[in-house]
Chain A
Amino acid sequence: MTGTVEAAARPVLELNNIHKSFGGVVAIEDFSLDLRAGEIVALVGDNGAGKSTLIKIISGVHAPTSGSIALDGEPVSFSDASKARSSGIEVVYQDLALADQQPVYMNLFLGRERLRGPFGLLDRKAMMQETQKLVDELDVRIPSASAVIRDLSGGQRQGVAIARATHWATKLILLDEPTAALGVAETAKVEKIVLALKERNMATLIISHSLDQVFRLSDRICVLRRGVQVGVRETAKTDKNEIVSMITGVA
């Protein structure tokens, strides 16, 4: 129990001087960012600014050309996505990565199925119950844990994808444009779910093209322009005009 205050203040994720180039093309230039538990940081920037590359670096898909990543103060280097996942980092992909013809609970446990008995058979009951409990907690309104993904609305699917990430993430959730394909009401529901992640003390990094949404959800905003980190602002102390000019580079 040495200094819980200190532990809370210590960042979950530290990115230090991350640099990434593909061949001769520089994708990310000298990027540094700290993320704390219970904090939502928005990553904004125009198309091609390097947001997705950064997500891929954090989730272990790409290795940075130089720079270091630390999780809970421990330096880490992920050789592939499964390493990042087993360290407690979950990604909600833009395409959601759900198996459409399978029930919600099988998607939640995809690749990490619960087994029972000496023959290691699928424990569908346990998976269903855990799923139901989780979607209730997060207030993801779906007909049931055994509903098939194809029968759900876009917002419900997004809710399922976020619930899956929440279930497995212990440290950090990366959200890649979670509401890009949703209507107004559905967007509001998903935003509620994202805000609930704060209460679960999760660190969240969200990519969004909607500045309104960024201002509704985030604690801090990090701006990228052509691979260059333009700056980080506390959401409460900035406004849209400043962020827009940072994104476009027009003062």
Chain B
Amino acid sequence: MFQRTHAIARKFDLQGSVIYLGFIAIFLFFAVTLADDGFLTTRNLSNIVLQTAPATIMAIGLVFVLSAGEIDLSFGSIVAVAALSAAVVMQEHSMLLGILAGLGAGLAIGWLNGALVAYLRLPSFLVTLATMGLFAGVARSMTDLRSIPVISDVFTGFFGSGSLFGIPSLILWTLGAVIIGHLIYRETRFGAHVIATGDNPRAAQVSGIKVPRIRLAVLMVSGGCAGLAGLLYAGRLQAAKYTLGESDLMTVIAAVIVGGTALNGGKGSVVGALVGSLMMGMLNNGLILMGLSVSDQMIVRGLIILFAVAISLRGTSRA
């Protein structure tokens, strides 16, 4: 019986099945304790999804990086640089050019990370730790700490407050990214090579997989995802600022790990990362509704993440 459920879990890509239980448990807890505080209203629940959209997109990129046995710590800084690049370019030029600038900045920083890791064989932890600081500085100096407004209605509609057939655009971005990310991860040769590289780089290499190219590619995927997340932030807030993405590092890494992606490679889940990200968003939202002060929120959130990561890591290592 256990084996059968396990096989089913595998089939539907639910390796880190602990997370689904955790998700439901937290949901029920807030639903009961915060019933009178509006947690269960459609408006609040859809708000949670809207607010987590950028984090979910970053998390999808990180699933690829971790699966390949690398790490990216710089995506938060990439978010800020990408959002500011887009906003600054849009002040003078067309919206399209602004979008390209934002995505291009993300891909370019991802390429820099990837090239240092893949071809100079520097550890990704150190490379992205350095570029995290480097590009946080770049983001600050780009506009002298000023916030840049984004006035294009088309842009803010497309990346923020708009909707299609009544579905908010941020939900569409999330769904689209999860579906495409899942397909690439599970159903393409590239995805298989990413996973194999993280599982056993030597086996991948002797099997003819171009391991350096995979390492470069996953860090570019992460950079590109962070770039898109930057556009979503800029669209939703109708402005870009150097603080965007600053506080997402812990949340996104926790979402991905809790979602069943192995920290040391070879295993991961895009759908799990979505659920992990929603769980983190729900946690944020619930703690605010409970009326906790900001410092108490940070403490409680840290403890819960610690607990959730511990449980999901134990669950996966036993499987």
Q: Which residues of B contact A93 (CB under 8 A)?
A: 206
Q: Which residues of B contact A44 (CB under 8 A)?
A: none
B209 lies within 8 A of A110 (CB): yes
B199 lies within 8 A of A101 (CB): yes
Interface residue tally for chain A (C-beta within 8 Å): 23
Q: Which residues of A contact B112 (CB under 8 A)?
A: none
- Counting CB contacts under 8 A, is A98 at the interface? yes
If the complex has contacts A100-B266, A110-B207, are A122 and B199 also in contact, measured as CB distance less than 8 A?
Answer: no
If the complex has contacts A101-B266, A101-B267, A113-B192, are A122 and B187 also in contact, measured as CB distance less than 8 A?
Answer: yes
For residues 187 through 212 of chain A, which have their beta carbon under 8 Å from a beta carbon of chain B? none
A110 lies within 8 A of B188 (CB): no
A102 lies within 8 A of B199 (CB): yes
- Counting CB contacts under 8 A, is A81 at the interface? yes
Checking B192, B200, B203, B206 against A122 with a beta-carbon cut-off of 8 angstroms, the contacting residue is B192
A99 lies within 8 A of B189 (CB): no
A101 vs B68: C-alpha distance when bound (angstroms): 13
B200 lies within 8 A of A98 (CB): yes
Nearest-CB residue, chain A, relative to B187 = A121
- Counting CB contacts under 8 A, is A167 at the interface? no
Nearest-CB residue, chain B, relative to A107 = B203
A90 vs B131: C-alpha distance when bound (angstroms): 41
- Counting CB contacts under 8 A, is B202 at the interface? yes
Q: Which residues of B contact A98 (CB under 8 A)?
A: 200, 203
Q: Which residues of A contact B196 (CB under 8 A)?
A: 99, 102, 106, 110-111
- Counting CB contacts under 8 A, is A112 at the interface? yes
- Counting CB contacts under 8 A, is B195 at the interface? yes
A96 vs B195: C-alpha distance when bound (angstroms): 18
Q: Which residues of B contact A110 (CB under 8 A)?
A: 196, 203-204, 207, 209
By secondary structure, the B interface counts as helix
If the complex has contacts A122-B187, A122-B192, are A102 and B202 also in contact, measured as CB distance less than 8 A?
Answer: no
Q: Which residues of B contact A82 (CB under 8 A)?
A: 208
A106 lies within 8 A of B267 (CB): no
- Counting CB contacts under 8 A, is A183 at the interface? no
For residues 170 through 214 of chain B, which have their beta carbon under 8 Å from a beta carbon of chain A? 183, 186-189, 191-193, 195-196, 199-200, 202-204, 206-209
Instruction: Mark each residue of chain A from 67 to 94: 1 if its CB lies under 8 Å from any CB of chain B, else 0.
Output: 0000000000000011001000001010
B208 lies within 8 A of A112 (CB): yes
Among B187, B207, B209, the most chain A Cβ lie within 10 Å of the Cβ of: B207
Checking B183, B186, B192, B206 against A81 with a beta-carbon cut-off of 8 angstroms, the contacting residue is B206
A55 vs B183: C-alpha distance when bound (angstroms): 39
Q: Which residues of A contact B266 (CB under 8 A)?
A: 99-102
A28 to chain B, nearest CB (A): 21
A120 lies within 8 A of B206 (CB): no
For residues 229 through 264 of chain B, which have their beta carbon under 8 Å from a beta carbon of chain A? 262
If the complex has contacts A82-B208, A99-B266, A101-B266, are A120 and B189 also in contact, measured as CB distance less than 8 A?
Answer: yes
A85 vs B208: C-alpha distance when bound (angstroms): 9
A120 vs B187: C-alpha distance when bound (angstroms): 9
Q: Which residues of B contact A100 (CB under 8 A)?
A: 199-200, 266
Q: Which residues of A contact B186 (CB under 8 A)?
A: 122
- Counting CB contacts under 8 A, is A95 at the interface? yes
- Counting CB contacts under 8 A, is A97 at the interface? yes
B180 to chain A, nearest CB (A): 12
A82 vs B186: C-alpha distance when bound (angstroms): 25
| A-B CB proximity, top 5 nearest | A111-B207, A99-B199, A97-B203, A111-B208, A110-B207
Q: Can you report 13 residue pairs joining A to B where beta carbons are below 8 Å apart?
A: A81-B206, A81-B208, A82-B208, A97-B206, A99-B195, A100-B199, A100-B266, A106-B192, A110-B196, A112-B207, A115-B189, A121-B187, A122-B187
